Chains A and B, each alone.
Chain A
Amino acid sequence: MADLHQKSLLQLSRGLAAGDFSSVEVTTALLQRIATHNDKLNAFITVTGERALDAAQKADAARAAGNAGALNGLPIVHKDIFCTRDVLTTCGSKMLENFVSPYDATVVERLQSAGAVMLGKANMDEFAMGSSNETSYFGNVHNPWGLDYSPGGSSGGSATAVAARLTPVATATDTGGSIRQPAALTGTVGFKPTYGRVSRYGMIAFASSLDQAGTITRTAEDAALMLGVMAGFDPRDSTSIQQDVPDYLAGLGESLKGLRVGIVKQHFDAGLEEHTGNAVKEALKVLESQGAELIEVDLPNLDLSVPTYYVVAPAECSSNLSRFDGVRFGHRAKDPQDLFDLYCRSRGEGFGAEVKRRIMTGTYVLSAGYYDAYYLQAQKVRQLIADDFQKAFKDVDVIAGPTTPTPAFKLGDKTDDPITMYLNDIYTIGANLAGLPGMSVPCGFVDSLPVGLHLVGPHFGEEVLLRAAHQYQQQTDWHEACPEDFK
């Protein structure tokens, strides 16, 4: 069983079904790997070993009794933004350092009902605000492809755990690229569904109109398997959409013949590092060789996406994070002198610098006298960007390009320059503003660091995205590359 950790979720699923190994064996093996490697990586905030073994035993028993769910006995890791009942849920913040959730997020509940076994909770940027995992109160996460490199963020813990083979899959969330960017920088598959496809209930809100839950996996197939369980209408989330969930695995085998792939010219402009660009161009050639047709499309307002995002997201976050006031849960300052002191110190001590920066920005753009110039204006631009995408998808089935402008950067490199850090999400933010599904697929290496191919689909175009990625992975083996120290 030496290579259980190298198996994909689907391979493990087949092995469990065939009786090749048990869930307890898989769980034990992965917990062992976490124990061995997590100190170097800091991918986990909480490891739920005992609970996992208990769940694995129950899963094995259920299988023996003929009651195996879709993910019965399969290991998963949750980003620590998802509320997990009776388990610490920190959102990467000192504010929630001691917060044990009294309930399960819908995503957690669905995966658990399908039989999945949670190994632990993944590290992340504080309240999902960051692109390098350096804003976590629980310390930096280290990229398994180079421990002094950032794995990206905010789902850096999830991406690192998957890349280092500590788990085959992890849940993650994406507000401006928080799934896709770390996936690209760690050589994993990051999948963000259409806004509203997966319930946000129990997912601690950063920017409600942009947040979407998704996955980090090593294969598109595993993303399809996970999405089938996670997706669907949830009456507890008014923004979740009432639409049938297709069998995402069913159509993966179809060829890419006739697939119209949109290429955005601006994506290959000066901002893109040359070798990263070359890797992406090679990937596009592979798609072409599989029968896809490359068509140039125009997204004229795309250059406005980063500034638009940094008005909308902070505005929503400034309001969403008001509930962390030291009154009912989370960090409370010691010996407050009065109410004002309680608020100021609880929040001042509980939040880190990046979170404070965004709360202040958001408060500013919503203030009387500035609302029209910033928030309202940003909403108008957001609509223009969404319209651009909609127009483009009249001519193409997917849009392809780079996920990030460069491969992973070193920890500490960009911490003093938030604007450069924000520009790391330049290619991914558009999909969030428009509510579209997007994914990153490993497409090569630059100086031994992975880079990703970014695919964006139309609303509810999950199937075509997954198919394109799966077919691409049939022709390439980038996703099989494993960082040397984690084989």
Chain B
Amino acid sequence: MSSQWEVVIGLEVHTQLATNSKIFSGASTAYGAEPNTQACLVDLGYPGVLPVLNKEVVHMAAMFGLAVNATVAPRSVFARKNYFYPDLPKGYQISQYELPIVEHGELFIPDGDGGEKRIGITRAHLEEDAGKSIHEGLDRNSGIDLNRAGTPLLEIVSEPDLRSAKDAVAYMRKIHTIVRYLGISDGNMQEGSFRCDANVSVRPFGQEEFGTRAEIKNLNSFRFVERAINFEVERQVELIEDGGVVVQETRLYDSDKDETRSMRSKEEANDYRYFPDPDLLPVEISAEYIEAVRKTLPELPDAKQQRICRDYDVKADDASILCASRAVADYFEAVVAATDAKPQVVANWVTGDLAAVLNRDGLDIADSRIAAENLAGLVSRIADNTISGKIAKEVFEAMWAGEGSADDIIEAKGLKQITDDSAIEAVVDSVIAANPSQVAEYKSGKDKLIGFFVGQVMKETQGKANPGQVNAMLKAKLAD
């Protein structure tokens, strides 16, 4: 691909809001129930039924607006988006069109040069999800499952500020982190709670006007976002360089073939005939309400990351990993609060060994088999020299296996570090005595052999000797 092309991307992220009931009815939003068991008459669009707004979604949208430094509209309006589809029971989707609840927001993503760049958020609006059509196993018929119909969504639309697939993924991850911090979405991508459409175009560098865009629908993983955009950029560039033109259309990403293909052209696009929904009143939000919501906002990822770097002297990269999830950051802080060990040591454990076992066993931090206070117990024993870092890993595995607290395990397995100088000296002396040729080599200048001697002492003591003391004593004795 020629490097004269600038990529322009805008994302529409659809976030399912984590309410108990639907946006306009009292039916449950729980995932995975038998088809059509969580759809009431309102969700089914029966004659005569009316929607009633679930106030919780307004609160959630306001939280999001404040979190991305946006304007939460004092007045927003629900509109009907009219089209026919079997899984759209009313023949229209209730959404927001001209007056969305959130406008003019922003967030920041890494710029690749150690700095960050601003991505504008045009708007975020509330809407209801449609149901699901099922085509498999029904003998050429189609089934309709309306459990999802009426599930609340917040659609977050970015400015066309993203310049690469990598930018797009960073932006999407940031939104993902924010909605989970706010507790307004579970962000579960497998269940479709978090997905996006990508508007992609290319233009020659330096050109101000945008190229014609294609919209890639329904991307439900970070990996697919990256691949679909990369494919699409390549397709558009090749097309233009071969003398063709990009047409405005909707495309679908096929993850099996790793390609996008045309779904419908602009000419085939629906005229949705939006108009304000007369069944719902405009959503009026007072300044007092917004201030009350602001007070309930948790610390947000950027602020938390900066604070962890600053207050705990943790490396920026580690702080970033810790803060990718609010639960992980909370866990980290809970460990730090319960130990005198250095926070960077705690960060190493949380982002290293703990992350590895969680990942291995497919668990969330909330389901960690080692509670924060127990990890604190372990790092405390390293800090006070009761055990070495190496023994700690053994203790950690035992804790993960459910064998008790760090202290219990150290006691039961006799893992306590040997710090008694005379005990260490006896082993050191015997190791020196047993390896005369290595002693001679060391003395002739082969300094690296110190590792060999330390290893022998540790082996003799089953790793329990304090490595610092062993090292110092060996050096002193071999210098004689």
Nearest neighbor of B133 in chain A, beta-carbon distance: A339
Please provide the chain B residues from 254 to 269 with a CB less than 8 Å away from any CB of chain A in the complex: none
- A108-126 Cβ-contact flags toward B at 8 Å (1 or 0): 0000000000000000000
Stretch at the interface among A23-31, A348-356, A364-372: A364-372
- Across the interface, do A323 and B48 meet the contact criterion of CB distance under 8 Å? no
- Across the interface, do A203 and B45 meet the contact criterion of CB distance under 8 Å? no
Contact partners of B439 in chain A: CB under 8 A: none
- Across the interface, do B50 and A236 meet the contact criterion of CB distance under 8 Å? yes
- Across the interface, do B82 and A366 meet the contact criterion of CB distance under 8 Å? yes
B92 in contact (CB, < 8 A):
yes
- Nearest Cβ distance between residue A283 and chain B, in whole angstroms? 35
A202 partner, pick from B49, B86, B274, B278, beta carbons under 8 A:
B49
- A312-330 Cβ-contact flags toward B at 8 Å (1 or 0): 0001101101111101111
Please provide the chain B residues from 33 to 59 with a CB less than 8 Å away from any CB of chain A in the complex: 41, 44-53
A205 partner, pick from B44, B48, B82, B86, beta carbons under 8 A:
B48
A102 in contact (CB, < 8 A):
yes
Given A328-B45, A366-B273, check contact A238 B281 (CB 8 Å): yes
Given A103-B41, A201-B49, A236-B50, check contact A323 B275 (CB 8 Å): no
A89 in contact (CB, < 8 A):
yes
Contact partners of A479 in chain B: CB under 8 A: none
A301 in contact (CB, < 8 A):
no
Please provide the chain A residues from 60 to 102 with a CB less than 8 Å away from any CB of chain B in the complex: 82-83, 89, 91, 96, 99, 101-102
Q: When chains A and B are docked, how far (Å) is the Cα of A149 from the Cα of B46?
A: 35
Q: When chains A and B are docked, how far (Å) is the Cα of A101 from the Cα of B47?
A: 8
B92 partner, pick from A202, A319, A324, beta carbons under 8 A:
A319
A237 in contact (CB, < 8 A):
yes
Q: When chains A and B are docked, how far (Å) is the Cα of A375 from the Cα of B278?
A: 13
- Across the interface, do B273 and A367 meet the contact criterion of CB distance under 8 Å? yes
Contact partners of B74 in chain A: CB under 8 A: none
- Across the interface, do B52 and A236 meet the contact criterion of CB distance under 8 Å? yes
Nearest neighbor of B44 in chain A, beta-carbon distance: A328
B31 in contact (CB, < 8 A):
no
A233 in contact (CB, < 8 A):
no
B80 in contact (CB, < 8 A):
yes
Given A102-B41, A319-B82, check contact A238 B53 (CB 8 Å): yes
- B390-425 Cβ-contact flags toward A at 8 Å (1 or 0): 000000000000000000000000000000000000
Interface-centre pick from B86, B91, B274 (highest chain A CB count, 10 A): B91
Contact partners of B47 in chain A: CB under 8 A: 83, 89, 91, 96, 99, 101, 204-205, 323-324, 329-330
Please provide the chain B residues from 371 to 388 with a CB less than 8 Å away from any CB of chain A in the complex: none
- Nearest Cβ distance between residue A355 and chain B, in whole angstroms? 14
Q: Helix, strand, loop or mixed for chain A's interface?
A: loop
- Across the interface, do A209 and B84 meet the contact criterion of CB distance under 8 Å? no
A361 in contact (CB, < 8 A):
no
Contact partners of B92 in chain A: CB under 8 A: 319, 322
- Across the interface, do B86 and A204 meet the contact criterion of CB distance under 8 Å? no
- By the criterion of a CB under 8 Å from any partner CB, how many residues of chain A are at the interface? 45
- By the criterion of a CB under 8 Å from any partner CB, how many residues of chain B are at the interface? 28
Nearest neighbor of A342 in chain B, beta-carbon distance: B86
Please provide the chain B residues from 78 to 104 with a CB less than 8 Å away from any CB of chain A in the complex: 80, 82, 84, 86, 89-92
Given A238-B281, A367-B273, check contact A322 B90 (CB 8 Å): yes
Nearest neighbor of B47 in chain A, beta-carbon distance: A204
B241 in contact (CB, < 8 A):
no
A363 in contact (CB, < 8 A):
yes
Q: When chains A and B are docked, how far (Å) is the Cα of A368 from the Cα of B53?
A: 28
- Nearest Cβ distance between residue B43 and chain A, in whole angstroms? 11
B275 partner, pick from A235, A322, A327, A375, beta carbons under 8 A:
A375
- Across the interface, do B45 and A237 meet the contact criterion of CB distance under 8 Å? no
Please provide the chain B residues from 10 to 51 with a CB less than 8 Å away from any CB of chain A in the complex: 41, 44-51
A13 in contact (CB, < 8 A):
no
A239 in contact (CB, < 8 A):
yes
Nearest neighbor of A201 in chain B, beta-carbon distance: B50
A390 in contact (CB, < 8 A):
no
- Across the interface, do B45 and A319 meet the contact criterion of CB distance under 8 Å? no
Nearest neighbor of B271 in chain A, beta-carbon distance: A368
Given A322-B84, A322-B90, A323-B91, check contact A329 B46 (CB 8 Å): yes
- Nearest Cβ distance between residue A285 and chain B, in whole angstroms? 40
- Across the interface, do B275 and A343 meet the contact criterion of CB distance under 8 Å? no
- Across the interface, do B48 and A105 meet the contact criterion of CB distance under 8 Å? yes
- Nearest Cβ distance between residue B227 and chain A, in whole angstroms? 32
A208 in contact (CB, < 8 A):
yes
B116 in contact (CB, < 8 A):
no
- B266-292 Cβ-contact flags toward A at 8 Å (1 or 0): 000001011100111100000000000
- A336-351 Cβ-contact flags toward B at 8 Å (1 or 0): 0001000100000000
- Across the interface, do A238 and B91 meet the contact criterion of CB distance under 8 Å? no
Q: When chains A and B are docked, how far (Å) is the Cα of A91 from the Cα of B47?
A: 10
Nearest neighbor of B87 in chain A, beta-carbon distance: A327
A218 in contact (CB, < 8 A):
no
Given A323-B91, A367-B271, check contact A204 B144 (CB 8 Å): no
A180 in contact (CB, < 8 A):
no
B278 partner, pick from A316, A323, A367, beta carbons under 8 A:
A316
A239 partner, pick from B273, B274, B278, beta carbons under 8 A:
B278
A200 in contact (CB, < 8 A):
yes
- Across the interface, do B52 and A208 meet the contact criterion of CB distance under 8 Å? no
Contact partners of A200 in chain B: CB under 8 A: 50
- Across the interface, do B52 and A328 meet the contact criterion of CB distance under 8 Å? no
Q: When chains A and B are docked, how far (Å) is the Cα of A453 from the Cα of B65?
A: 54
- Across the interface, do A239 and B279 meet the contact criterion of CB distance under 8 Å? yes
B280 partner, pick from A103, A236, A238, A323, beta carbons under 8 A:
A238
Given A103-B41, A323-B91, check contact A201 B48 (CB 8 Å): yes
- Across the interface, do A363 and B91 meet the contact criterion of CB distance under 8 Å? no
- Nearest Cβ distance between residue B156 and chain A, in whole angstroms? 25
- Nearest Cβ distance between residue B192 and chain A, in whole angstroms? 22
Contact partners of B84 in chain A: CB under 8 A: 322, 325, 343
Nearest neighbor of A343 in chain B, beta-carbon distance: B84
- Nearest Cβ distance between residue A365 and chain B, in whole angstroms? 9
Contact partners of A239 in chain B: CB under 8 A: 50, 278-281
Contact partners of A91 in chain B: CB under 8 A: 47
Contact partners of B52 in chain A: CB under 8 A: 235-238
Nearest neighbor of A326 in chain B, beta-carbon distance: B86
- Nearest Cβ distance between residue A377 and chain B, in whole angstroms? 13
Nearest neighbor of B86 in chain A, beta-carbon distance: A327
- Nearest Cβ distance between residue B456 and chain A, in whole angstroms? 79
Contact partners of A82 in chain B: CB under 8 A: 48
Q: When chains A and B are docked, how far (Å) is the Cα of A96 from the Cα of B47?
A: 10
A319 partner, pick from B41, B144, B273, B281, beta carbons under 8 A:
B273
Interface-centre pick from A82, A203, A322 (highest chain B CB count, 10 A): A322
Contact partners of A371 in chain B: CB under 8 A: 273, 275
Q: When chains A and B are docked, how far (Å) is the Cα of A343 from the Cα of B273?
A: 18
- Across the interface, do B44 and A209 meet the contact criterion of CB distance under 8 Å? no
- Across the interface, do A238 and B273 meet the contact criterion of CB distance under 8 Å? no
Contact partners of A322 in chain B: CB under 8 A: 82, 84, 90-92
Q: When chains A and B are docked, how far (Å) is the Cα of A101 from the Cα of B50?
A: 15
Interface residues of A (CB under 8 A from B): 82-83, 89, 91, 96, 99, 101-103, 105, 200-205, 207-209, 235-239, 315-316, 318-319, 321-325, 327-330, 339, 343, 363, 366-368, 371, 375
29 contacting pairs across A/B (C-beta < 8 A)? A82-B48, A101-B46, A103-B46, A105-B48, A201-B50, A202-B49, A203-B48, A204-B47, A205-B279, A207-B278, A236-B50, A236-B52, A237-B50, A238-B280, A239-B50, A315-B275, A318-B273, A319-B91, A319-B92, A322-B82, A322-B90, A323-B89, A324-B47, A327-B86, A327-B144, A366-B274, A367-B271, A368-B271, A368-B273
Other A-B pairs, 6, CB within 8 Å; known A319-B275, A328-B45, A329-B46:
A83-B47, A202-B48, A237-B50, A238-B52, A323-B90, A363-B273
Interface residues of B (CB under 8 A from A): 41, 44-53, 80, 82, 84, 86, 89-92, 144, 271, 273-275, 278-281
- Which 8 A-B pairs have CB atoms at the shortest separation, nearest pair first? A322-B91, A366-B273, A209-B278, A208-B278, A202-B48, A323-B45, A204-B47, A83-B48
